[in-house]
């Protein structure tokens, strides 16, 4: 039973309102003394031409109380609904037990496709903590939308083209060697790339040399493309190793170079539609009417830009996947870039431009300033993940040395801690990287949620052969039990909310709330030592919590070990 829907139906019938609109306005009161559900009447004042408290009184007098509601109270402009606690517990727990890992799923996205562009590191540069946010936010949104029935397409739009490759080739020819690159991989490419920028500050003509090498790449020069391909393949090998550790997958690796032969058609169409204008030798689309700077399409030297490639990529994705929504998970400092080329597609006359969504996130910086690959100021992702696993392994050796599969659990908990820490932050919030914070397992963290699930699994293992039929739900009316049931009931709402706001932190914070409520339930209510029927009812709560925690962690891209 959808309690909100039943309440919405009763209100709609009593007040002659649209049921779906009522449903959208039903709230969960911040204080449980105010009820389990509340309907505010403020919005009705304009149409009914009455004071909101009076409207609430009138609806209350006409409403037919659903059988699972014990009381309806009018408090100012609110209709507050109090559920019959045993009926409420029965409806929630029996649904979780019956639906198992499918609990909370929806069919909202059936027949719809979402394309998600995320991670997108630059080839020949190390995968560092600055790439973590796009990777884990995008991966989580993929899983959330999939859970809601959407067909998802995950794309890694690799930074694999541009002048930086001219710089790298120039640096390799001057200071690199095949042996050093084969031995040290991306770290050697990083070393010579940093050296290039140091030397170019003293000798600016190096930048002309770099541009010349990139021009050779564009013109199909065999040596230039051979070096580029070598750097590309070596980078992918290292990136995939990190993606495997993080448990992140993509449906396509179509980087910037993939769209080289697709940009001419975009430029031709812009010319045909008379949208291109000359400006200081370059070609632009004027966006003054949208109160934005012009969108640069072709540079004065004839080269294309990020915007040109992104527009070509959007057309390719629309044609290939016919998406209903295309998300771009990139840093907040790219807001203007996306707003500009989204507007260009709109000006070209394509209504699907409204389905392009930039999902910005705050920047990651180091305590002493911004990350910079050019200056070698980064924290390598591989280094962070290894440190997280090592720290977890040390804790296991100290607290539970007999734990089976110690190495596997150390990986699940260590990597989970890193992912959860990132996804617990509001997406738009800037983050200052801190080893201590990232690897702190106390408080509102991934390991805390994982441990709560492991505790639930331990109780269920000790109980053995549990039969969840004919449960006496009257033993689940105490405050701690009801609080857990309330949270279990809103899992699907939280997932939908996370999808609509592109905000995985809604799921991670929900999991912390559920874990805290469960640990209070565990503290307040004896389970295995309780009388048989009470024990069975409480075990049903334990099973339900474990089911939802596992599902929630999975939506974040985190595993749930059953022993810790």
Residue located via tokens 């997406």: 427
Classify the C-alpha dihedral 149-120-504-437 as positive or negative: positive
Measure the CA–CA gap between 75 and 80, rounded to whole angstroms: 7
Query: DSSP alpha helices (H): ranges in 247-283?
Result: 263-272
Out of 4, 85, 125, 318, the active site residue is: 125
Residue 128 DSSP symbol = B
Measure the CA–CA gap between 170 and 102, rounded to whole angstroms: 54
CA neighbours closer than 13 Å in the CB half-sphere of residue 73:
14
CA neighbours closer than 13 Å in the CB half-sphere of residue 123:
29
Out of 4, 131, 157, 543, the active site residue is: 131
424, two tokens: 């617990």
429 is catalytic: no
Out of 128, 216, 318, 543, the active site residue is: 128
The alpha carbon of residue 152 and the mean position of all alpha carbons in its chain are separated, in whole angstroms, by 13
Helix 186-202 with 163-175: angle, nearest 10 deg: 90
Helix 479-489 with 532-555: angle, nearest 10 deg: 40
125 is catalytic: yes
Measure the CA–CA gap between 114 and 280, rounded to whole angstroms: 39
Paired with 126 in beta bridges are none
Residue 81 DSSP symbol = E
197 is catalytic: no
- Helix, coil or strand: residue 98: helix
Measure the CA–CA gap between 493 and 510, rounded to whole angstroms: 11
Active site residues: 125, 128, 131
């Amino acid at each position: 039973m959808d309690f909100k829907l039943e309440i919405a139906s009763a209100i709609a019938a009593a007040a002659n309102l649209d049921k779906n609109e009522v449903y959208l306005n039903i709230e969960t009161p911040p204080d449980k003394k105010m009820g389990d559900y509340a309907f505010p009447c403020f919005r009705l004042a304009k149409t009914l031409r009455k004071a909101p408290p009076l409207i609430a009184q009138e609806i209350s007098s006409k409403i037919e109380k659903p059988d699972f509601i014990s009381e309806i109270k009018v408090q100012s402009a609110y209709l507050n609904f109090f559920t019959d606690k045993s009926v409420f517990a029965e409806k929630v727990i029996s649904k979780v037990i019956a639906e198992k890992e499918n609990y909370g799923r929806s069919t909202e996205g059936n027949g719809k496709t979402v394309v998600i562009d995320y991670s997108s590191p630059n080839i020949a540069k190390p995968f560092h903590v600055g790439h973590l946010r796009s990777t884990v936010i995008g991966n989580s949104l993929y899983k959330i939308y999939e859970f809601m029935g959407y067909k998802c397409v995950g794309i890694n739009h690799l930074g694999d083209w541009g002048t930086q490759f001219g710089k790298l080739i120039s640096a390799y020819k001057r200071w690199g060697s095949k042996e050093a690159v084969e031995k040290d991989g991306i770290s050697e490419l990083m070393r010579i790339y940093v050296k290039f920028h140091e030397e170019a500050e003293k000798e600016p003509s190096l930048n002309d040399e770099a541009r010349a090498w990139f021009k050779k790449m564009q013109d199909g020069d065999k040596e230039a493309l051979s070096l580029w391909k070598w750097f590309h393949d070596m980078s992918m090998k290292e990136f995939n190793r990190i993606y495997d550790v993080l448990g992140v997958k993509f449906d396509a690796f179509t980087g910037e170079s993939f769209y080289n032969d697709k940009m001419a058609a975009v430029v031709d169409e812009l010319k045909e539609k008379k949208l291109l204008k000359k400006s200081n030798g370059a070609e632009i689309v004027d966006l003054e009417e949208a109160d934005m700077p012009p969108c640069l399409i072709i540079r004065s030297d004839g080269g294309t830009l990020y915007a040109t490639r992104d527009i070509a990529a959007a057309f390719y994705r629309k044609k290939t996947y016919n998406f209903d929504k295309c998300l771009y998970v990139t840093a907040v400092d790219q807001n203007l870039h996306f707003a500009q080329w989204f507007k260009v597609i709109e000006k070209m006359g394509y209504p699907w431009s409204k389905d392009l969504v930039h999902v910005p996130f705050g920047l990651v910086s180091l305590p002493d300033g911004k990350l910079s690959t050019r200056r070698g100021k980064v924290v390598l992702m591989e280094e962070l993940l290894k440190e997280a696993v090592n720290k977890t392994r040390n804790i296991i050796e100290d607290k539970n040395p007999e734990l089976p599969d110690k190495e596997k659990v150390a990986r699940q908990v260590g990597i989970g801690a890193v992912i959860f820490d990132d996804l617990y932050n509001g997406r738009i919030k800037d983050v200052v990287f801190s080893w201590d914070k990232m690897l702190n397992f106390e408080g509102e963290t991934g390991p805390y949620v994982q441990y709560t699930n492991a505790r639930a699994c331990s109780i269920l293992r000790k109980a053995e052969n549990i039969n969840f039929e004919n449960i006496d739900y009257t033993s689940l009316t105490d405050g701690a039990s009801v609080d857990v049931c309330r949270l279990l009931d809103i899992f699907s709402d939280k997932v939908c909310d996370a999808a609509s706001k592109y905000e995985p932190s809604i799921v991670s914070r929900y999991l912390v709330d559920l874990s805290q409520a469960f640990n209070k339930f565990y503290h307040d209510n004896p389970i295995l030592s309780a009388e048989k029927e009470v024990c069975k009812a409480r075990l049903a709560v334990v099973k339900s919590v474990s089911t939802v925690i596992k599902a929630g962690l999975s939506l974040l891209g985190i595993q749930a070990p059953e022993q810790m």
